[in-house]
Amino acid sequence: MPFRTIVYCCLLAFLAGCATPKPVSKSADAYMKEGEGFYQNKKYEESITQWKKVKELGTTSPLLATIADLKIADAQFESKNYIEAAASYESFSKFHPKSDRVPYTLYRLGLCNYNQVTGYDTDQTPVKNAINMFESFLKQYPSSEYADDVRQKLADCITRQVRYEIYIGRFYLRFGKYQASIKRLEECIARYPQSQILDEALLYLEKAYMLNGEKAKGQETFNRLFIKFPTSKYIKEANNYLK
């Protein structure tokens, strides 16, 4: 190839490279708005991507970076990635303890656990975590706008936990492990004294005491059942078992 042709080709390649436009860097505010648009259209992964770019520009827009932190957690929550969302809410509370959004993050952290709750015969870790989070929330923010919902969900969690403890207590009872049944049911009654389904727990506790040869404690447990739940459907069965 002639030298002149080679020089000409190189010049064209150089000019073409110069003509390629460089990507324009957007502002944190622009990324924030794009993320909000994706979020409104339920495109949560795309919104997270945009808000992470806001965080990368945190040194120039610290306030927007803080807002982006919380919005990322919300997007994870809405996409039902509760484990990731819980970690993000917890991180926000840790690094922004004076933010007025901390009650909201603690509320959402409780919901992350609550929304993972399944049946009473499965792993109860989400239930226990939700109870701890909701109880802690009510101690710190009893007058919060979220308090009523927290109380309702806490009551539901406690009922689920008591059902689980009764399930385990009955399991031990069925296989003749009376001491284990007594221990489990007594701890349940002591931990959740206001539960409205403790009458069933007291019934099986009475049975466990009687089958373990502790008739006096069986009678005492029946008395506890009769006094606290005089209209319980378990009264007749409990009385017959004493006889």
What is the full per-residue pLDDT of the chain (243 aa) written as tens digits? Answer: 454 444 344 444 444 454 444 444 678 889 999 999 999 999 999 999 999 999 888 666 788 889 999 999 999 999 999 999 999 999 999 999 999 999 999 999 999 999 999 877 777 899 999 999 999 999 999 999 999 999 999 999 999 999 999 999 999 999 999 999 999 999 999 999 999 999 999 999 999 999 999 999 999 999 999 999 999 999 999 998 877
The letter for the amino acid at 7 is: V
Q: How far apart are alpha carbons 105 and 85 in whole angstroms? A: 10
Q: Global pTM?
A: 0.80
Q: Can you tell me the distance from the alpha carbon of 68 to that of 47, in angstroms, rounded to the nearest whole number?
A: 10
Q: How far, in Å, CA of 151 to CA of 145, rounded? A: 11
Burial class from Cβ neighbours inside 10 Å (0-12, 13-18, 19+) for residue 119 reads exposed
Task: Compute φ and ψ for 173, nearest 5 degrees.
Answer: -60, -45
How many Å separate Cα 221 from the centre of its chain? 35
Rounded-to-integer distance, Cα 187 and Cα 195, Å: 13
C-alpha span between 125 and 122 (Å, rounded): 9
Domains of the chain: 28-100 (1.25.40.10)
Q: With contact defined as beta carbons under 8 Å apart, do 68 and 32 qualify?
A: yes
Contacts of 136 (CB under 8 A, 6+ apart): 106
> 21-30 — which CB contacts under 8 Å span 24+ positions?
26/53, 27/57, 27/61, 28/53, 28/54, 28/57, 28/60, 28/61, 28/64, 28/65, 29/61, 29/64
